[in-house]
Structure 1
Amino acid sequence: MHRQYVVNLSRIREVERRFKGELFLVMDDQEQTMVPVSRRNAPAVRRALQI
């Protein structure tokens, strides 16, 4: 995730993969907020979500 976001991992609805390996976390809220994941943090996010 980018430094400007704090995410509760239990509130992630899905992980969306886009062009060039970009990741977005789709949150479990009314707006289905999309949180971008930086390339640098993508491996740590994948490990945390076991994907």
Structure 2
Amino acid sequence: MLWTIIIVILVLWLLGFIGDIGGGLVHLLLIVALIVFIFQLITGRR
């Protein structure tokens, strides 16, 4: 589930660079997804 969300957000982020869609919201979502991903890596290895 987490990987699917990360892939969708990365695609939206790339579309934002290409077509200027979404503006700062896509970048904010990408940062949130990156923080959640790092948190999952840290807490999931115990």
TM-score grouping bracket, smaller chain normalisation: 0.3 to 0.5
In proportion to residue count, which structure has more helix? 2
Higher relative contact order (CA 8 A, sep 6+): 2
Higher Rg: 2
Q: TM-score, normalization: structure 1?
A: 0.32
Q: TM-score, normalization: structure 2?
A: 0.33
